[in-house]
Amino acid sequence: MAGRTYRTEAVVLRSFRFGEADRVLHLYTLDRGRVGAVAKGIRKTKSRFGARLEPLSHVDVLLHQGSGELHTVTGVELIRSHHRAREDRYRLGVGLVGAEAMLRLFTEQERNPRAFQALTRFLDLLEELPARKTRAALDALALSFQLKLLWLSGYLPHLTSCADCGATDRPLVGYSARAGGAVCPECSDGALALSPAGLGAAESLLARPLAEAGGIAMTSRSARDALAVITSAYEYYGNFRLRAVRSA
Ligand SMILES: [Zn+2]
């Protein structure tokens, strides 16, 4: 085979059927950021890849870069399968929100070790997440991970003073994606109305480590407000909405 082969750690963000027996994988790799790859013959019963390339799996892969846009998987070893995250509906819902956020925010074939580390940390914590009956989209880990991804993408919502006029002595009553954060009553025209508790929750989710997200006291109203901040930032900066949020 002409071209080059390289090895990297990667997380499978999404996978879809391709042709008779293959799958196309959207990978987030440690060495090159976002990479599309084809796993040939993976849908055959005796595939040499086995079940090691399921969505949310953390793997060590050998990828061959030929002339086409898609790289080819030539070898794979599991680092962590994260099967616990897939076998429960709630955890899977949280995981798919995180994976889609990663897909939408990190689209370039460009190394970003901090984003990769946040992703693997998120998946490790997801394994331990208690299964719940509530909406996965409002889960503290899901919200915290997305706020951190926004920050790593340079779309950090500013939540501590008015993002429009800079006032520090007025209450913050809304969120304006255009201004890039929370706004005071005088700058709140067209802004999304938010509760002070919701803004406080978003601020804590952003400031505290992912591992502490579950311990942040948050009402469902606060969680909805934090989600509204994230959704509004996606719409403003990237003009997208996450499909996984609608179904979770
Ligand atoms: Zn203001």
Domains of the chain, residue spans: 4-81, 84-247
CA of 183 to the centre of ligand 1 (A): 5
Phi, psi of 64 (to 5 degrees): -105, 125
User: From first to last of its 248 residues, what are the pLDDT tens digits of the chain?
Assistant: 567 999 999 999 999 999 989 999 999 999 999 999 999 999 888 888 888 999 999 999 999 998 889 999 999 999 999 999 999 999 999 999 999 999 999 999 999 999 999 999 999 999 999 999 999 999 999 999 999 999 999 887 888 899 999 999 999 999 998 898 999 999 999 999 999 899 999 999 999 999 999 999 899 999 999 999 999 899 888 899 999 888 77
pLDDT of residue 237: 86
**DSSP labels, 51-72:** TTT-TT-EEEEEEEE-SSSSEE
CA 142 to chain centre: 8
Q: How far is the CA of 201 from the centre of ligand 1 (A)?
A: 20
- Give every CB contact of residue 201 below 8 A, 6+ residues apart in sequence: 216, 218, 222, 223, 225, 226
Q: Can you name the residues that pair with 73 across neighbouring β-strands?
A: 63
Please tell me the predicted confidence (pLDDT) of residue 1. 53
Please report the pLDDT score of residue 2 as a whole number. 62
Nearest CA among 123, 161, 158 for reference residue 142: 123
The DSSP H or E segment spanning 83 is: helix 83-87
Residues 6+ apart with CB under 8 A from 234: 104, 240, 241, 242
CA of 186 to the centre of ligand 1 (A): 5
CA–centroid distance, 219 to ligand 1, in Å, is: 26
> Ligand 1 centre and the CA of 184: distance in Å?
4
pLDDT tens for residues 41-97?
Answer: 998 888 888 889 999 999 999 999 988 899 999 999 999 999 999 999 999 999 999
CATH architecture of 84-247: Up-down Bundle (1.20)
CATH class held by domain 4-81: mainly beta
What distance in angstroms lies between residue 53's CA and the mean position of ligand 1's atoms?
49
Phi, psi at 20, each rounded to 5°: -75, -45
Distances 12 to 37, 41, 61, 190, 236 between C-alpha atoms, Å: 10, 17, 11, 39, 27
From residue 4, alpha-carbon distances to 7, 67, 72 in Å are: 10, 10, 10
pTM of the full predicted structure?
0.94
pLDDT tens for residues 160-176? 899 999 999 999 999 99
